[in-house]
Amino acid sequence: MAPTSLAPDRAHARLHELTVIDVRTHGEYASGHIAGAHNIPLDHLDAAVPVLKSAAERGDLVMVCASGARSAQACATLTAHNIPAATLTGGTIAWSRHGHDLHRPTDARGVWPMDRQVRFVAGSLVLAGLAVGQRRAAARWLSVGVAGGLVYSGISGSCAMARVLAKLPLNQPRAIDLDATLAALAAMGQ
């Protein structure tokens, strides 16, 4: 059974024997990922359970995201299905900080990482609430709501805004991309 977390240097040393699953959005994955990683966004993970179960029977799975939060959620989901998986400690951010390369396809479209998208939208909503609040005091509640959501996100480790933003078309994999990823994972065992 795989350990529950794997440090970047240890994962790098074992990369040839690991099946790496990147659970970030398609846009984030395209902006830079561990070479050989398969992209299955977190919100599509349930559809991939049968293929991931088969892959885990062949070797260790390592789940990856930007910081380690979404990959830990992915590991919890897989554990609920009796599929052993580890999370890359610190995600691709730590991977890069340890001097390991990220693969960036030349034809990839530039999509901001999810944490940057959340900061942009949250900041914009707070500013809009304050600006409109100059004329209509009730609009300030928008700023209060966003601030409360950010505090809850920090405490709970989950982010409702990120879940909503992940559903935007720019963050979605094309169906053929996800199907191709699942087919490639299934073919690895044959």
Per-residue pLDDT tens over the stretch 165-184: 888 877 766 656 788 888 88
Tell me the average pLDDT across 70-90. 95
**% of the chain with per-residue pLDDT over 70:** 92
Which amino acid is it at 49? V
Q: CATH number of the domain at 5-111+171-187, please?
A: 3.40.250.10
Domain with CATH 3.40.250.10 in the chain: 5-111+171-187
Per-residue pLDDT at 1:
44
| Position 3 pLDDT exceeds 80 | no
Name the residue among 87, 95, 94, 96 with its Cα closest to residue 69.
87
Among 75-79, 127-131, 164-168, where is mean pLDDT lowest?
164-168
**pTM attached to this predicted model:** 0.71
pLDDT tens-place string over residues 19-74: 999 999 888 888 889 999 999 999 899 999 999 999 999 999 999 999 998 999 99
- Just list the catalytic residues: 65
